Structure 1
Amino acid sequence: MRAPAPGPRRTVFWHQKGGTGKTTLAIAYAVRLAMDGHRVLLIDTDPQGTATAWGERFAARWGLVVRGACGAAIWRNLADRMPGFDHLVLDCPPTITTATMDTLIGADRLIIPVRPAMPDLWALEDVAQILADLRAGAAAPRTRVVFNQHRGEDLRPLIGAVVGLGLEVLPAPIAAAPAWSALFSGGVPPVGLAALLDAAD
């Protein structure tokens, strides 16, 4: 595993499966970092543009900068041209493309949200193989899987399945809560992101 690149910490939220909460967690993570006094650039590479739309409405409230970007060489084309940030947080679409690989190679941290459901874990199989290939070339970011939208399910067999793929699981799941919808009305993210913030260190 390579050492983090100099400059701002680059954290990517990605899973090849949709609906796992990548965008919501990327926004919440960026807001919490900003609330702690960090200078944060949130980069939206998803064609749906949800993070960009959120940013147009609420980024200034939290002192964040949000930019949309697409295509290969994201870090060179956008992030490296915007100095002065402590953290670059990137929301990826649920795809496996050349741009995705380029983004992962340039990242320091990869957060993979999964719901406590087998289809989300099945989709991890290809992700784990991609990361193994990147590790073979010393290009893989430090990767953590986080269970999202947790409603009290027994996670032990699911965690075992993730570990069996050679992936590390964050110690605390992200609980499902009605308060998450308030994030898209400019509200404060719910508590429970401590494990994600620890992963930023």
Structure 2
Amino acid sequence: MIIALLNQKGGVGKTTLAVHLAEVLSRLDKSVLLVDADPQGSALDWAANRPDNPPFPVIGLPKPTLHRELPAIAKNHDFVLIDGPPRVNELARAAIMASDVVLIPVQPSPFDVWAAKEIVDLLREASTFKENLKSAFVINRKIVNTAIGRDVVEALSSYPVPVLKTSIGQRVAFAESAAQGLTVLHTDPSGPASQEIVSLAKELLEL
């Protein structure tokens, strides 16, 4: 299964989610590949900052030919996570065409809801070529114990894309683990951040 994390709006947490989902899936004894398709190379930076080798390979492939090159690279892996670019461009189109599932991280703000239209339009365009393409929103960086998370779910209902039940909170643990080239599953394995990520991975697999 190839899963792309995409949104034309930067700063929504694509890399954080991609890295953490790759970590969870690798712990299920699955062969996982993380593809950094963002020219900024944040996932590659994360891997380089690790104190040891990650349990899955991380490669850079920020190329508009991604959809043609990835199948040969991905064939020996159970799961491939694509950390997509922060804009709707040829790279994003290539990532969609390479994927089975597109996960769209959205922060709980009106700006993110409005910005989601571009990636939804791109998915609609791609669906004419890929009838079985699946997609879903995931609420990321939700402020815990506030109503704004519920409000954004309601606002996103205007799009023909489902919203996953699992939301990821705005937690310092994610930044602290990233600074070490690790994940919250290493630094706080029983904490709420880890529980949310594991729940998200399970829900994603049910798609």
- Please, what TM-score do these two structures have when normalized by structure 2? 0.85
Residue 189 of structure 2: aligned partner: none
Whether the 8 Å CA contact 2:138–2:163 is kept in 1: the answer is yes
Whichever residue aligns with residue 154 of structure 2, its letter is G
Q: What is the distance in 2 between the residues matched to 1:56 and 1:110?
A: 26
* Structure 1 stretches of 4+ moved >6 Å: none
1:55 is aligned to 2:59: no
My pick for the range that moved more, 118-127 or 153-162, is 153-162
Letter in 1 for 2:59: R
Matched, 1:195 2:189: no
- Answer with 180-189 or 14-23: which moved more: 180-189
Give me the whole-angstrom Cα distance separating, in 1, the residues matched to 2:56 and 2:164: 25
Instruction: Report the equivalent of 2:119.
Output: 127
Aligned counterparts of 2:135 and 2:117: Cα–Cα separation in 1: 14
Aligned partner of 1:86 in structure 2 is 78
Aligned: 1:167 with 2:183? no
Partner of residue 39 from structure 1, selected from 28, 31, 39: 31
Aligned equivalent of 1:21:
13
* Structure 1 counterpart SS, 2:82: strand
Q: How many residues align?
A: 193
Contact 2:37-2:91 at 8 Å conserved across structures: no
Q: Return the alpha-carbon distance in structure 2 between the equivalents of residues 178 and 159 of structure 1.
A: 23
Decide whether the 8 Å contact of 2:164 with 2:203 is kept in 1. Answer: no
- The one of 181, 184, 197 equivalent to 1:186 is 181
The aligned counterpart of 2:146 is 153
Q: What are the superposed Cα offsets for residues 7-51 of structure 1, whole Å, 9 maximum, x if unpaired?
A: xx1000010000100011111111111122111110001111110
Q: Against the structure 1 CA distance between its residues 58 and 64, is the aligned structure 2 distance closer, same or farther, given a 3 Å change threshold?
A: farther
Q: Percent identity?
A: 25
Alpha-carbon offset, residue 176 of structure 1: 1.4
> Secondary structure of 1:145's match?
strand
The RMSD of aligned alpha carbons is 2.0
State the Cα deviation string for residues 100-159 of structure 1 (Å, max 9, x = none): 112202201111111111111110112222222222444562111011111133233321
